[in-house]
Structure 1
């Protein structure tokens, strides 16, 4: 580890190094490599050659987490690094120190930073610029890119080739949906349908961006607000919990809007042989029935296990590749 942040840019601030803030910043080749490496680590974690030996990785989570925080902490250890954990009130940010000053200090002492926040992605970008170290977005308000890497890797692990696969996302157009749209837009030959409640869809600009990116690869990304307009064939059905971490809904009748988007045995019976996916935590009886979540066709628990493998892949890419 060096003793100072990276070379300052023209503004005098340290320049950000390669991390993973948004899948918008990642090209098809890089995403494919992250997915391939995730699958490799899922099959055999002994493939890790301790590339983070002697490196310190900050784990800054200001929002709750079970899977992602544990995955990145253990991933740093499995890759030979040392995780340094921070909670929401542990840094001087809690007493008024600026984000830029905090980032600059962390950049002097850490080799990388994994961040989950209920705030906007712009704050992570600011932190990365100040630190001059790789910053990994473990969830921001707008996007959850490491979840999408995990999800695509889970599909590859199960199906092998994704070309010709029909994928259905059911539920709110939240940060997981955004990451899936951006990630799957870079996978050739998919059909991706987002079935979202009226008023709770993907941002229109994001949807247009993803659809244009997808079109260059023969992939289709579409959104519907009516469960009667789903594709006739689906290979995988995905949902997330209705109460996304760190958010609330101002509409008091929101549950009535969401109720038709409940994933149960009746919905799954429309797509014989389709697998079920969920990023967890799940609320049985809200977005999904217990019979589907815990059924034989559920990949949710394999998906959860992939979180560790994908965290290893992302850390290897962002930190070990940063020399």
Structure 2
């Protein structure tokens, strides 16, 4: 090897990768591709091959995770990648190293980093600055984008479409609700009705972004703080754990506000053909009764399994440069 062939510190090790920090990072075509591809993996129609063979995926989880961590780890292994796992105390950011410096180190050794952090998405964007490293948001305080992709794949698997579906969301306007709103708003004819306890709705900026997408795409996203006037039957009823992972509520009487928003069998009198979606973990008897969660309408555990299929779609898109419709 001659001196001219030696790589300098600025020589890219590989092509630029695609990152997913927010659903708003995706074009409409990319969002549809990832939803469809997740459904294809779930149905066994994704084709053979190990497109991530020879690549290394990092999995950094600063918060607890069962489904998302397992989904991305198993998905990466199934696609041929190797996985390095990091816990909350493992990185030198704990001792003062900058996010950008950590990102440059990761980019020199990893191909993709799947991360669940304790703060806002700025940390993830800092890691992605180098351009060589794909960074995937496995949940931040404001948004859970890969959960929404799982939800879309699950709806596609059940109904064969997302366009025109009517979805009722009951519970806190948390990061899963935010991602669901930002995703469904981009499918023509889709209608998402969020019923959230007073004071626990979607963040104003998220609701504004979702309604702007809906206006552009011919969808509908609305939010109310009661259960009156449910209107036409729903295709799906969605709920999440009342106490979002890693958070607490300052109001000691918050449960009183949440009680009316519990998902019970009575909702199926209004929407007898609806399916139940739940991002899990579930607390039976709180946000949903056991009768519903474990009943015939529930897709919650199929939805959980689909996290791996959607993770595979995201990893493939981030690292394997699978052709999709053009960006723009």
TM-score scaled to structure 1, two decimals?
0.93
Q: 1:61 touches 1:88 (CA, 8 Å); kept in 2?
A: yes
Query: C-alpha separation between the residues in 1 aligned to 2:268 and 2:121?
Result: 35
- Tell me what 2:33 maps to: 33
Q: 2:37 touches 2:46 (CA, 8 Å); kept in 1?
A: no
- Tell me what 2:105 maps to: 105
- Tell me what 1:248 maps to: 248
Unaligned stretches of 5+ in structure 1? 8-14
**2:136 alignment partner, SS class:** strand
Can you list the C-alpha shifts for 1:36-82, whole angstroms capped at 9, x where unaligned?
11111111177242111110010000100000000000111111101
Aligned length: 315
Can you list the C-alpha shifts for 1:205-225, whole angstroms capped at 9, x where unaligned?
221221121122221110010
Query: C-alpha separation between the residues in 2 aligned to 1:280 and 1:115?
Result: 19
Q: 1:19 touches 1:319 (CA, 8 Å); kept in 2?
A: no
Query: C-alpha separation between the residues in 2 aligned to 1:126 and 1:5?
Result: 17
116-125 or 147-156, which moves further after superposition? 116-125
**2:129 alignment partner, SS class:** helix
Query: C-alpha separation between the residues in 2 aligned to 1:16 and 1:144?
Result: 24
1:229: Cα distance to partner?
3.3
Query: C-alpha separation between the residues in 2 aligned to 1:292 and 1:257?
Result: 21
Cα 1:166–1:32, aligned 2, differ >3 Å: closer, same or farther?
same
Query: C-alpha separation between the residues in 2 aligned to 1:5 and 1:305?
Result: 40
Cα 1:293–1:5, aligned 2, differ >3 Å: closer, same or farther?
farther
Q: 1:241 touches 1:287 (CA, 8 Å); kept in 2?
A: yes
Cα 1:218–1:26, aligned 2, differ >3 Å: closer, same or farther?
same
Cα 1:239–1:30, aligned 2, differ >3 Å: closer, same or farther?
same
1:133: Cα distance to partner?
0.9
Query: C-alpha separation between the residues in 2 aligned to 1:68 and 1:273?
Result: 29
1:234: Cα distance to partner?
0.8
TM-score scaled to structure 2, two decimals?
0.91
- Tell me what 1:80 maps to: 80
- Tell me what 1:281 maps to: 281
- Tell me what 1:129 maps to: 129
Cα 1:46–1:274, aligned 2, differ >3 Å: closer, same or farther?
closer
- Tell me what 1:11 maps to: none
1:50 counterpart = 2:56: no
Cα 1:76–1:212, aligned 2, differ >3 Å: closer, same or farther?
same
Unaligned stretches of 5+ in structure 2? 1-6, 323-328
CA RMSD of aligned residues (A): 2.0
